[in-house]
Chain A
Amino acid sequence: MTKGKRIRILIAKPGLDGHDRGAKVVARALRNAGMEVIYTGLHQTPLQIVNAAIDEDVDAIGLSILSGAHKTIFPKIMVLLKEKGISDMLVFGGGTIPRKDWEGLKKIGVGEIFTPGSGTSKIINYLNRTLRRDKNV
């Protein structure tokens, strides 16, 4: 990526869980912070999400999960990314993901987890910091 390019983020709702208020609010906040955001809507399979991320050439994927299925979905996404030869895409998450599960997720390469009550500014700062450092955007 060249310097000065806008950060591109895919906000995705994997699975059939219908709680998408958070995902929509985060998508809008990131957009207002100057990022380019693609929001998938609900019902996405891990493969659809990974394909969309590649097609859209995003810098990061934000997964919103409020169903409790995070321990199944994150690993699947990480494996699919690896299979597709993608190693530099940040995957972060939000939703009802208990702290006790964070370590396991971080071990497989997942970035920050934002639980209910996290401010959107925290997410914006995190993305700016991480993506600009890692990629020299």
Chain B
Amino acid sequence: MSKLFKNDTIEELREKEDQWQKEFYPTEKDQQFFKTLSGIPIEPLYTPKDIADMDYLRDLGFPGDEPFIRGVYPSMYRGQSWTLRQLAGFGPPEETNKRYKFLLEQGATGINGVFDYPTLRGYDSTDPHAYADAGRGGVAIDTLEDMRILFHGIPIEKISTSLVTCQPICNISIQSMYIANAQNRGVPLNELTGTSQNDFLMETAITIAPEVLPPKASFKLSCDAIEYCAKHVPRWNPISFAGYNYREAGCSATQEVAFVLANAIACTEELIKRGLDVDSFAPRLSFFFSAHSDFFEEIAKYRAARRIWYRIMKERFKAKDTRSLALRFHVQTAGVSLTAQQPLNNTARAAYQALSAVLGGAQSIHVDAYDEALCTPTELSSLTALRTQQILQQETRVTNTVDPLGGSYFVESLTNQLGDRIVALLEEIDEMGGIVKAVEKGWIHKEISNEAYAYQRAIESGEMSIVGVNCYKIENEKLPVELFDVPETLQIQEKKIKKIKKERNSLQAQRALDDIARCCDEDKNLMEVIVDSVKAYITEGEISKTLKMSYGTWNPPVF
């Protein structure tokens, strides 16, 4: 036992605190204004009494040790900084390659590659559905040749790359192309480091589009990539449970964590069912969280998530490897909190949010650019976002000690409360039969929709202040920033696709697609096949069509 306070101490404090409260807070007025963004009521003051039940070793422990609440590594940022991983991607790969190099030259320490809407959705740039979207929201990738161009001149054996593939239907092709490109460059797969997003909720629950892969099929593809990497690309994080995007779609902090953990539980169960030992893949399951504007709630969220994941892995799945028990995560500052009004204010917003991620122990961070509510970031806004991280890292000295807020009466209490709510929600999902069921029956869609609507109402009623939007407004503001124009993409991609289709061995290409279809029929691991298939220069769109032919499509419910 290592209880934080003796019972006598607490009793004595309780008396004094009651007196103090009676004197200074005689009524409960205005209580409704003091709550977290997710609705947890906040007291005027926190004291040892609020964490009286905590046991140091059981509930806090040491960094790099159980229950990992104080951080996943013993030395945290004293040993190694978080990775400065600024999102980049637009236009054809030739253009994004330049932006990657620019960010690396300026001190970014990892690549965070985002793909354009057609690529994310599994379409070629030339598909009629891709009308007007090629090169927008990210970089356009159609074939292995594009992947070669995207990483040309970048040492992928040294730099870790995050592939923001969002949904499995994109990931299965794009990650396969990344791996195939590494093989073509002679980079051994056990040297490749990086992460792919690959989260099935992204296409089945977070965004609502008709005719997507059914939840079960999407979930299968996601697990295929995890299994493949566990066997062949051991240093790759084959999934990044995309809590960030759940949050962007409307989730509260509680839902964000509960839904990602429920998803991670489902993947773990599935892979164990496939015969894998939990410690062979769990160390590489990674997480992606939002840093929203409620500073302390976000810090509490990261800390609570670590402790809950540790308990799940230890108690439910009997994991033994320390790395399986430690929840590692990337953070992006909340895009949804950015304003189109007075856009330079977003720099301040994102800086506070990034600080919460650092105080919460993040492994890598992207800071949003100030112009993201208006357009794709310009070179200047991207650079300012990177500099925001560097100021945090080099000037503020918040990295001097590990988990500086650990032991704070307030932060620990909030961490516990948020944790209880997350666990309760997880139990609800368990009772439903797990996350895939929760998606199939539309429960999750409804939850997210309700929360998003409540958030909007809170802004419109003025209950929630957004500077520049519902307070401190400037009428007829003159936009102080230059907007980015996406370079011409479709013609460039069209030309390349035409050339490739003309020059590739059509027999080989057909055989590659047949192999994929057969693999679907035989219910084998698709990534095993697609990594080789993409070398026949088949396009992402051709692969997606083959998958949809085999698995059919699904229309998620709309609320």
* Contact across chains for B460 and A68 when beta carbons are under 8 A apart: no
Q: What is the minimal beta-carbon distance from A68 to any residue of chain B, in angstroms?
A: 5
Name which residue of chain B comes closest to A17, CB basis: B117
CB within 8 Å for A67 and B211 given contacts A96-B375, A115-B340: no
CA distance A69 to B136 in the complex (A): 8
* Contact across chains for B466 and A98 when beta carbons are under 8 A apart: no
CA distance A21 to B459 in the complex (A): 15
CA distance A100 to B468 in the complex (A): 20
Q: What is the minimal beta-carbon distance from A51 to any residue of chain B, in angstroms?
A: 14
Q: Which residues of B contact A115 (CB under 8 A)?
A: 340
* Contact across chains for A24 and B449 when beta carbons are under 8 A apart: yes
Q: What is the minimal beta-carbon distance from B340 to any residue of chain A, in angstroms?
A: 4
Q: Which residues of A contact B132 (CB under 8 A)?
A: 14-15, 67, 69, 72-73, 76
Give the interface SS of chain A, mostly helix, strand, loop or mixed.
loop
Number of A residues near B (Cβ < 8 Å) is: 34
Q: Which residues of B contact A72 (CB under 8 A)?
A: 131-132
Checking B136, B207, B373 against A116 with a beta-carbon cut-off of 8 angstroms, the contacting residue is B373
> Is the C-beta of A121 less than 8 angstroms from some C-beta in chain B?
yes
CA distance A120 to B452 in the complex (A): 13
* Contact across chains for B375 and A43 when beta carbons are under 8 A apart: no
* Contact across chains for A96 and B137 when beta carbons are under 8 A apart: no
Q: What is the minimal beta-carbon distance from B232 to any residue of chain A, in angstroms?
A: 30
* Contact across chains for B136 and A68 when beta carbons are under 8 A apart: yes
Q: Which residues of B contact A121 (CB under 8 A)?
A: 460
* Contact across chains for B374 and A98 when beta carbons are under 8 A apart: yes
Interface string of B330-352 (1 = CB under 8 A from A): 00000010111100000000000
* Contact across chains for B131 and A15 when beta carbons are under 8 A apart: yes
> Is the C-beta of A16 less than 8 angstroms from some C-beta in chain B?
yes
Name which residue of chain B comes closest to A65, CB basis: B132
Q: Which residues of B contact A19 (CB under 8 A)?
A: 207
* Contact across chains for A43 and B340 when beta carbons are under 8 A apart: no
CA distance A18 to B206 in the complex (A): 9
* Contact across chains for B340 and A116 when beta carbons are under 8 A apart: yes
* Contact across chains for B558 and A25 when beta carbons are under 8 A apart: no
Q: What is the minimal beta-carbon distance from A44 to any residue of chain B, in angstroms?
A: 9
> Is the C-beta of B248 less than 8 angstroms from some C-beta in chain A?
yes
Would you mind naming 14 contact pairs between A and B with Cβ atoms under 8 Å apart? A18-B209, A20-B207, A21-B452, A28-B449, A41-B208, A42-B207, A42-B209, A43-B210, A67-B117, A67-B133, A68-B376, A68-B486, A117-B341, A120-B456
Besides the known contacts A96-B375, A116-B340, 10 further A-B residue pairs in the complex with CB atoms under 8 A apart: A16-B133, A17-B136, A18-B206, A21-B249, A21-B250, A29-B456, A42-B208, A68-B137, A73-B132, A76-B131
A residues sitting closer than 8 Å to B (CB atoms) are 14-21, 24-25, 28-29, 39, 41-43, 45-46, 67-69, 72-73, 76, 96, 98-100, 115-117, 119-121
Minimum-distance CB pairs A-B, first 5:
A42-B209, A16-B117, A69-B132, A72-B132, A18-B207
